[in-house]
Structure 1
Amino acid sequence: MAGTLKRKKSRRNIDETSSEVDMPVISALDMDNPSSDIEIYAKEVLNALIADNLPPTPNNFSLYFDRLLEDKSENLRKQIHSILELEENNDDENTIALEQSLKQGFSSIKGILGVTANLYKNMSLMTKILEKRKEELADKPEAKEALAIISTLENDVTKLNSILKTQSTQMRSIYDDTAKIVKNVENETIFDNQFGVYNKRYLLTKIEQEMGLIKEFHHKSSLIMIELSRELKKSVKNDKAVLLMIRTIARLLLKTSRRSDIVAHYGNGVFSMLLKHTDIESAKKASERLCELVSNSNFFLADREIQLKISIGVTDIDPEFSVEEIVVSALDGIEKAYELKNTDYAVSLRK
């Protein structure tokens, strides 16, 4: 009985070069005919996906497109990125912009409510002033006409004050309803306004999604947790300065990350990077590069120059464990790095 034997293809880490398939070589991009060079590179990406036995879905293709491009010349990378910018359309960025607009709108409503409340207080103060002037004029018979005018004015102010109070109550009700809507939206947001990266909710969702993909396609992905050195925090002893340092770390993470990486604020100044299709060894190299980048970024506090320093925990994404266990493992890596003292990062793997 005839049959076919399918060869099981081994997974590779796409940060390394594969020799399973002959890849077309492109050394530079011909700007007179850029489409042809893009086509050649696209075929290279497709061959890499086939070599790794991965389906050429848009997400996989985009991820491999970015990663394989890192091995090309700087000139080629810049030229291809300039072409990609012409059609760039990031749904997440659009969502983030919408979230920011919504929060700004809510802040404006809150400001209107505050102005209305102050107006109501001023009207109440005006009523009290009129009452006081009326009492002063009551002891002066020659001021009867003025007293009558004040009484009329007092009645008008009282009516206006009553109307304003009713409208203020209505506005407060509208504000409360809007606050509930914004709160519900915040529970579904993906962006951390304070540091300009993704938030914890989005991170956990992406880790869970990646676990499902790993279970299906058996590739390697990693998670790293990053925080500003605790020793540095203690030495600075200035909350505002520490916050600025943490924000600087966030910007550096975005600067060094690839489009397929997920940079998020986990909480309390701890950041995370989900490195898709990246094994532990490559995650360690990424951590080394990140530590070096941060250490070369000095921070000035008054006349004092401070060298930034971070601690990193590294772990793998294993679908046999829960999202929480994976996150805790990466956080344990940070603690391990502090214990080792001679390194800024450490790997933590679950047993």
Structure 2
Amino acid sequence: MAGVMKTRAKKSLEGSNGKSPAIKSLDIDSSSSDIEIYAKEVLNALIADNLPPTPNNFSLYFDRLLEDKSENLRKQIHSILELEENNDDESTILLEQNLKQGFTSIKSILTVTANLYKNMSLMTKILEKRKKELESTPEVKATLNVIDILEGDVSKLNSILKTQSSQMKTIYDDTAKIVKSVENETIFDNKFGVYNKRYLLTKIEQEIGLIKEFNHKSSLIMIELSRELKKSVNNDKAILLMTRTIARLLLKTSRRSDIVAHYGNGVFAMLLKHTDIESAKKASERLCDLVSNSNFFLADREIQLKISIGVTNIDSEHSVEEIVVSAMDGIQKAYEQKSMNYAVSLRS
């Protein structure tokens, strides 16, 4: 299939006379703008690596090669990208957030209705009490008649409210089932503001298929807040805030093509597409430095954040589960070695 795609790509670049004017246009000349020159470099790199110049591959190489460019060029290109950014995943995430917010609002309505029902029941009891107090006074017979009527009205209202409350409970239960069904298909982790485990595993599975087809290299790194740091802090709320800080830092340092996700229990993952082990190690070093330079304040105590990272390669010979376990083993190796905050774990 790869050969077919390459052949089609080549034919699409050839003119009617069999020559290749499009390939010739890849030559860089002085009249081209910086971004045009860079785009040509990206396309040349794809062709050199025998990869079909699909939008997905172009985007991956566009991000990867940009890391080695000057800061001015990176800023120029990032400013352009921000203007045209249109991510379908972001739209999906926004939809998920709105859905969950709507469910929360329905739950609040149910709570208010339940409280109203309780207050009506309390009012009924108060009326009964006052009626008994008045029964001991003969001259207030007319008042008792009024209270009897009022008691009947309150009882009817209470009965109606009870029925409506039951109906709302049924609506709430049905909505809860819908939301639960949607949650099984979500891609976003609300707690940490990154992708969730389900989305991560799906993307790793897809990457395995792409590697099998095109034979490029990709890596997976797993990251967690240092266990020694969590033990020394021993404060669940503070640990949660520090873990959220780690999530924000991961998003800050990641490329657009990287997948940042919460795997579970405060462990994060970054799927680094078209990234070999050496490049993944450099990315891990940058992450460790970025985090260590970010201090966290707990009351009057200043805490230096620290993470542990496991690095592994993604290949077509192993399953998603085996790849994830290998990255988790890397975290354990990092703790055992102690000389580094990250370690590489390769499968045999």
**2:317 is the alignment partner of 1:303:** no
1:55 maps to which residue? Answer: 52
Q: Distance in 2 between matches of 1:169 and 1:192?
A: 32
Secondary structure at 2:224's aligned position in 1?
strand
Q: Residues of 1 paired with 2:33 and 2:71: CA distance?
A: 19
Deviations 1:65-107 (A, max 9, x none): 1111222211111112212222110111111111000000000
Does 1:263 find its partner at 2:260?
yes
Q: Distance in 2 between matches of 1:68 and 1:50?
A: 14
The SS at the match of 1:258 is: coil
Q: How many residues align?
A: 326
Find the partner of 1:209 among 206, 209, 213: 206
Q: Hey, what does 1:17 align to over in structure 2?
A: none
CA distance in 2, matches of 1:56, 1:144: 94
Q: Answer with 262-271 or 85-94: which moved more.
A: 85-94
Aligned CA distance change for structure 1 residues 117 and 26 (closer, same or farther; 3 Å) = farther
Give the letter aligned to residue 303 of structure 1. D
Equivalent residue number for residue 142 of structure 1: 139
Cα drift, residue 109 of structure 1: 0.2
CA displacement at 1:343 relative to structure 2 = 1.1
CA apart distance, 1:244: 0.8
Partner of 1:345: 342
Matches within 5 A, 1:162-241: 162-241=159-238
Letter in 1 for 2:126: I
Matched, 1:120 2:121: no
C-alpha distance in structure 2 between counterparts of 1:283 and 1:36, whole Å? 31
Report if the CA contact (8 A) 1:198-1:264 is conserved: yes
Distance between the aligned counterparts of 1:48 and 1:89, measured in 2?
25
Cα RMSD (Å): 1.9
Structure-1 residue corresponding to 2:283: 286
Sort the Cα spacing of 1:168 and 1:26 in 2 relative to 1 into closer, same or farther, 3 A. farther
TM-score by length of 1: 0.90
CA displacement at 1:39 relative to structure 2:
3.0
Counterpart of 1:251 in structure 2: which amino acid? R
- Report how far residue 319 of structure 1 moved: 1.4
| Unpaired segments ≥5 residues, structure 2 | 1-5, 7-25
**% identity of equivalent residues:** 86
More helix by share: 2
List alignment gaps of at least 5 residues for structure 1. Answer: 1-5, 7-22, 28-32
* CA deviation string 1:268-298 (max 9, x = no partner): 0000000000001111111111111111111
Quote the Cα distance in structure 1 between the aligned partners of 2:169 and 2:324.
41
2:314 is equivalent to residue 317 of structure 1: yes
Partner of residue 61 from structure 2, selected from 56, 61, 64: 64
Report which stretch shifted further, 292-301 or 110-119: 292-301
Alignment of 1:155-166 (within 5 A): 155-166=152-163
- 1:5-44 to structure 2, matched below 5 A, reads 36-44=33-41
1:278-331 alpha-carbon deviations (Å, 9 max, x no partner): 001111111111111111111111111111111000000011111001000000
Contact 1:26 1:37 in 2 (8 A): no
Instruction: Confirm or deny that 1:104 pairs with 2:101.
Output: yes
CA distance change for structure 1 residues 206 and 234 in 2, over 3 Å: closer, same or farther? same
Give the distance between the partners of 1:324 and 1:141, measured in 2 at CA. 83
* Alignment deviations for residues 156-188 of structure 1 (CA, whole Å, 9 cap, x no partner): 000000111111111111101100000011001
CA distance in 1, matches of 2:189, 2:152: 51
1:80 aligns with 2:81: no
Q: Secondary structure at the match of 1:226?
A: strand
Structure 1 residues 152 and 99 mapped into 2: Cα distance closer, same or farther (>3 Å)?
same
Q: What are the residue-to-residue correspondences of 1:324-343 with 2, within 5 Å?
A: 324-343=321-340
Change (3 A) 1:283 1:26: farther
CA–CA distance in structure 2, aligned partners of residues 133 and 164 of structure 1:
23
TM-score, structure 2 as length reference: 0.90
- Counterparts of 1:55 and 1:96, CA distance in 2: 30
Q: Does the 8 Å CA contact 1:232/1:309 hold for their aligned counterparts?
A: yes
Moved more, 132-141 or 259-268: 132-141
Separation (CA, whole Å) in 1 of partners of 2:124 and 2:231: 55
Q: Which amino acid aligns with 2:203?
A: K
